[in-house]
Structure 1
Amino acid sequence: MPPTNAPAVPAEDSRYARGLARLKEIDGAAGEAVVASLADIAPDFARHLIEFPFGDIYSRPGLDLRAREIGTVAALTAMGTAAPQLAVHIRAALNVGVRREELVELIMQMAVYAGFPAALNGLAVARQVFAQAEAQTPAHGEAAPA
């Protein structure tokens, strides 16, 4: 039986199922952690987060996941107010094949449209995400951390 604070989702809800599958494809455990973090305060918001962005928008044809994450990283960098979400989407961009060098160039370009502070903040977030990724990557011949 699901916990009482779990998002209310009808079994036949294909938007939710499609969104959850897309979220896992893009973010893996990081996306699931964001949803789980809402369980005690806003479980219905967690459902909306899965259904609309991932079930409806990210699941549309026309752009691949790589292009969608490039656009998302650019938008979140330009906003300048969404560092935690930017970190999640930088990790997601890496997961779907965007190279670190491309992300750095993308974030630097946002200085033209959103200002140097937004780009500097975005680069700081990228630095943290890259460092975390390096810490989690096993050295040649070593096993991955559990």
Structure 2
Amino acid sequence: MTDRRPEFQGEQFEKGLQIRREVLGDAYVDRSIAAADDVSAPLQKLLTEWCWGEIWSRPGLERRMRSVLNLGMLMALNRSDEFKLHVRGALNNGVTREEIVEIILQGAIYCGAPASLDALRSAKAVFAEIDAATTQVSQR
């Protein structure tokens, strides 16, 4: 699904949209784009073009490393919703659950106990959601 409004068109937007889908998944991106209104559409456009189309497409770091960095920064900023989203993205980019726990432990020293506790709760919630979805699929 791609919204064909004028602000959601163009080469840079499409490039960013593709990367965003590969990292975060079609379902999340579809919901974000569909929910965009007159107030939020400009931010969706900016993030898709510049965050995903410009920064995530640069050759200097692999996506896996970008995910590791994002987890550390989002933990430091205590942004649990974005942290959860990027746990999924990190898993899609080849970061293991064990590595995510190690990132949180590393962050406990540099970001503090409250940030690491929130990050661990967030990671565990994402792991549980993924496990539940996997169990449902395998039981069909």
TM-score normalized by structure 1?
Answer: 0.84
Q: Is the 8 A contact 1:7 1:46 kept in 2?
A: no
Say which of 42, 45, 50 aligns to 1:44.
Answer: 42
Q: Is the 8 A contact 1:22 1:58 kept in 2?
A: yes
Partner SS, residue 110 of structure 1: helix
Deviation for aligned residue 1:34 = 3.1
State the identity as a percent: 35
Say which of 70, 73, 76 aligns to 1:72.
Answer: 70
**CA displacement, residues 105-138 of structure 1 (integer Å, 9 cap, x when unaligned):** 1011111111110011100100110110101113
Change (3 A) 1:7 1:108: farther
Separation (CA, whole Å) in 1 of partners of 2:86 and 2:33: 14
Equivalent runs, 1:43-122 vs 2, <5 Å: 43-80=41-78, 82-122=79-119
Partner SS, residue 47 of structure 1: helix
TM-score normalized by structure 2?
Answer: 0.88
Q: Which residue of 2 aligns with 1:129?
A: 126
Q: Give the number of the structure with larger relative contact order, counting CA–CA contacts within 8 Å between residues 6 or more apart.
A: 2
Change (3 A) 1:84 1:35: farther
- Alignment partner of 1:18 is 2:15: yes
Separation (CA, whole Å) in 2 of partners of 1:7 and 1:123: 40
Deviation for aligned residue 1:67 = 0.7
Letter in 1 for 2:85: V
Q: Which runs of 5+ in 1 are unaligned?
A: none
Partner SS, residue 60 of structure 1: coil
Separation (CA, whole Å) in 1 of partners of 2:31 and 2:109: 33
Letter in 1 for 2:102: E
Deviation for aligned residue 1:7 = 6.3
Letter in 1 for 2:111: A
